[in-house]
């Protein structure tokens, strides 16, 4: 109930943010512009449209999660609205979870909007609604959920600019860490490999949520990978939220 109230107010606040609409506008432009790119490209035009469309949803979704997520908690502390909230019978964990779910709801609405434009553009070329695209979108959304948790973690102890840099760094590391996995396979056993393995265990691997290629090219995806990626997302998000709550619980609000 209390988490719901905080989430509701967060949703109301986030949907008033102009950045959100600016990013949505650019995402829409990028999805529409995929048609132009398709004309310029040799090969399967529809695949280019799908590729660019899904990438746009992913990138602009991440920017929304980071730019709004990093200011949400900070703003409450900076404007001191948190004083009256925490004086109520509200646990700090409930506050963090409320903020998280509020932003997740905002991103859900935005992702749905972007997907609608994307599906419409694809429909104009194939004359059918390609529901399989939504599989890739669902995992992009799961990634956004994780990025939201990361943005809120940084926002609970840092300024919005620093938090945005940290969160975007997390996103980049997450999409490059698969290189480490390759490296581990090629390394000889020893201290170096153990260290690389240790690092790989803790660093995020956001490629787990990337089903764009498979969906665009109609490649089969084993069910096990779906399940693994789903639980990977859920547990990693829970871990990051747990950290955010731990940091937030011990904080003094001067």
Partner 1 sequence: MADAIKIENLKKSFRLGFIPKTREILKGISFSVKEGEIFGYLGPNGAGKTTTIKCLLGLIFPDAGTIEIFGQPHLSTRARQALGFLPENPYFYDYLTASEFLAFYADLFGLPRDEKEKRIARLLKLVGLERAASLRLRKFSRGMLQRVGLAQALINDPKLVILDEPLGGMDPLGRKEIRDIIVRFREEGKTVFFTSHILQDIEMICDHVAIIVGGRVVKQGALQDLVSEKVLFTEMTVSGVPPEAFRGLGQSLSTQGDRVFLKILEQGRVDDVLALVRERKGQVVSLSPRTETLEDIFVETVTGT
Q: Which residues here bind partner 1, judged by CB under 8 A?
A: 1-2, 4-5, 8-9, 12-13, 16, 79-90, 250, 252-254
Q: Minimum CB separation from partner 1 for residue 78, in Å?
A: 10
Q: Minimum CB separation from partner 1 for residue 106, in Å?
A: 14
- CA 240 to CA 78: how far, in whole Å? 23
For partner 1, the closer CB: 37 or 85 = 85
For partner 1, the closer CB: 189 or 254 = 254
For partner 1, the closer CB: 10 or 229 = 10
Which of 21, 2, 237 lies closest to 109 in space, CA to CA?
21
Q: Return the structure tokens found at 83.
A: 């004083």
Contact 203, 173 (CB under 8 A): yes
Cα 250 off chain centre by: 27
Q: What is the largest CA-CA distance in the chain?
A: 62
Q: Minimum CB separation from partner 1 for residue 5, in Å?
A: 4
Contact 64, 20 (CB under 8 A): yes
For partner 1, the closer CB: 76 or 143 = 76
Q: Minimum CB separation from partner 1 for residue 252, in Å?
A: 4
Q: Minimum CB separation from partner 1 for residue 213, in Å?
A: 42
Residues 6 or more apart whose Cβ sits within 8 Å of residue 79 = none
- CA 186 to CA 180: how far, in whole Å? 10
Contact 103, 148 (CB under 8 A): yes
Q: Minimum CB separation from partner 1 for residue 203, in Å?
A: 31
- CA 3 to CA 100: how far, in whole Å? 9
For partner 1, the closer CB: 3 or 65 = 3
For partner 1, the closer CB: 88 or 128 = 88
């Amino acid at each position: 109930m209390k988490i719901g109230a905080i989430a509701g107010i967060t949703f109301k606040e986030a949907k008033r943010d102009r950045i959100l609409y600016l990013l949505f506008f650019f995402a829409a432009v990028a999805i529409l512009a995929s048609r132009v790119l398709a004309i310029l490209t040799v090969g399967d035009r529809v695949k280019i449209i799908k590729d660019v469309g899904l990438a746009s949803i992913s990138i602009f979704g991440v920017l929304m999660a980071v730019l709004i997520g990093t200011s949400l908690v900070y703003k409450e502390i900076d404007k001191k609205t948190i004083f009256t909230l925490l004086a109520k019978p509200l646990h700090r964990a409930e506050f963090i979870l409320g903020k998280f779910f509020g932003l997740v709801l905002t991103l859900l609405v935005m992702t749905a909007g972007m997907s609608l434009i994307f599906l419409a553009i694809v429909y104009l070329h194939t004359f059918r609604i390609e529901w399989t695209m939504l599989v890739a979108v669902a995992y992009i959304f799961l990634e956004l959920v994780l990025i939201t948790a990361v943005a809120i973690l940084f926002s609970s102890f840092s300024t919005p600019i620093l938090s945005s840099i940290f969160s975007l760094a997390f996103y980049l590391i997450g999409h490059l860490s698969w290189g480490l996995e390759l490296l581990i396979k090629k390394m000889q056993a020893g201290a170096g490999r153990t260290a690389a393995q240790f690092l790989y265990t803790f660093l995020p691997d956001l490629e787990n949520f990337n089903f764009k290629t498979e969906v665009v090219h109609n490649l089969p995806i084993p069910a096990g990978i779906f399940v693994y990626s789903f639980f990977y997302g859920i547990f990693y998000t829970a871990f990051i939220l747990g950290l955010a709550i731990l940091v937030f619980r011990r904080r003094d609000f001067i």
